[in-house]
Structure 1
Amino acid sequence: MITVYGEGRGFRVVWLLEEMGLAYRVRAVDLLAGVEQDREFLAVNPAGFIPAIVDGDIIMVESIAILEYLLATRGPSDLAPTPDDPAFATYQQFLHMGEAGLAGPINAIVATEILAPEGEKRNWTTGWALGTFESRLGLVRRQLDQTPYMAGERFTAADISVTYALELAARTGCFTLGPVECAYVARTAAREAYARAMDNCPATKAWAAEVAGGRSEG
């Protein structure tokens, strides 16, 4: 059975595992409490970041790499267009953009908000990160003007990647999604596998409910 260490970006992995119908378990990792005493996790990933997976003798880190690994070793799957598919290039672009161009810059803003001294929370780097996110979001919007999903007419792992990033931006308060992105997230998050993944990621589910509750009160 595959073990997924940590939620956060690990939600992408859990969602894909649910879509593919694969057996797994989630092992919680509390980064906010520090991982110095979590010897089991540090034995898996000495760098101390999440997610990580253990699949037999294989250890993998980095959420997008894990998605590609699972699709390659447990596929073929409709969630990953093959190289001869006209949608392949677009799929690859948005699969990686979901982290490199969207979630990565948001992470820099969130880390600064949490860890930086009060006078340094808004700085050049966070401005650059937000600008990067917005420029890549423009490519997402352009794609959604043409097709309902990132790679075309059908849902793929690229949508798992991008949906996570958009929800991260919205839940952290870094960015207010527009109507096009909101409709897209509502479409992808309505999938049964997404709901099952949420049930198996209790911290993520509680955070999402807390954010939604705060918005309704506001």
Structure 2
Amino acid sequence: MDKIRLLGRQTSGNVQKVIWMLEELGAPYVREDYGRQFGNTQTSEYLALNPNAKVPTVIDGDLTIWESNTILRYLAATRGAQLTGATPGEATEVERWMDWLLGAVNAPYLTLFKESKLAPEERTAAYGAASKEMDNLLAIAEAHMEGKEFAALGKLTIADIALAPVLKRCMGFDIERKPTPNLDRWMESLLNREGFQVALGERQSTNAAAA
């Protein structure tokens, strides 16, 4: 297969998902810096690839894909069946957590991400509301992870790969929240994986080519 082009900045949680997936698969790829800070996601060329002007975008041969969870599903379907369910029923156990991430976690996460950059006295009421919502969401994940090593099927799947880069940030926000020993244990285990370390920029890839 052709080398995959991954367009997106290293520091994006959604780009980190894709980097980690590619590293786990050992799929040849090249990552190119794209994002608002590079001034290249509003160009006509990029908008023709991704009309949302966001990252990541993946180019695999003649195919262009955007939306990070869709990219993970595509890579699992084409290169990594072991990272998803073997049956439609098993797939629901994996993909429900990917949809939960987008449908439930994403909105309070974005609020906390933006307002955490402000001084405490500058934060709005939305920050407090998002903090309470995030505490409840992390409690859901905490209860699910009791006695489990992975989010689904007893093995690493695209559920873990989708969740971990974002939940790592959620767990690091300066908010009041209940203890999450099960989530802490899960995260610590995943942080020992080389692919996740590469995604976070803590280790050099031996799989990715220079842009």
Equivalent residue letter for 1:179:
P
Q: Give ranges in structure 1 of 5+ residues lacking alignment.
A: 203-218
Q: Secondary structure at the match of 1:147?
A: coil
Contact 2:139–2:180 (Cα < 8 Å) also in 1: no
**1:113-153, CA deviations, whole angstroms, 9 ceiling, x for partnerless residues?**
45x89976322x33343333222222211111132111042
Greater RCO, CA 8 A, separation 6+? 2
Q: Count how many residue pairs are aligned between Structure 1 and Structure 2.
A: 198
Q: Secondary structure at the match of 1:25?
A: strand
Contact 2:142–2:181 (Cα < 8 Å) also in 1: no
**1:49-96, CA deviations, whole angstroms, 9 ceiling, x for partnerless residues?**
111111122221111111111112224x221012255x4332121122
TM-score (norm. length: structure 1) = 0.76
Contact 1:101–1:133 (Cα < 8 Å) also in 2: no
Partner Cα distance (1:41, 1:175) in 2: 40
Q: Give ranges in structure 2 of 5+ residues lacking alignment.
A: 205-211
For 1:20, which of 16, 25, 50 is the aligned residue? Answer: 25
Partner Cα distance (1:62, 1:82) in 2: 23
Identity %: 23
Q: Secondary structure at the match of 2:87?
A: coil
Once the 2 structures are TM-superposed, how far is the Cα of residue 12 of structure 1 from its aligned partner? 0.0
| Equivalent in the alignment of 1:11 | 16
| Equivalent in the alignment of 1:209 | none
**Off by >6 Å, runs of 4+ in structure 1:** 116-120
Once the 2 structures are TM-superposed, how far is the Cα of residue 39 of structure 1 from its aligned partner? 5.6
Partner Cα distance (2:72, 2:129) in 1: 28
Please provide the CA RMSD for this pair.
3.0
Partner Cα distance (2:101, 2:42) in 1: 31
| Equivalent in the alignment of 1:62 | 67
Partner Cα distance (1:153, 1:65) in 2: 22
Give the 3 Å change call, closer, same or farther, for CA 90–127 of structure 1 in structure 2.
farther
Partner Cα distance (1:133, 1:5) in 2: 29
Give the 3 Å change call, closer, same or farther, for CA 56–102 of structure 1 in structure 2.
same
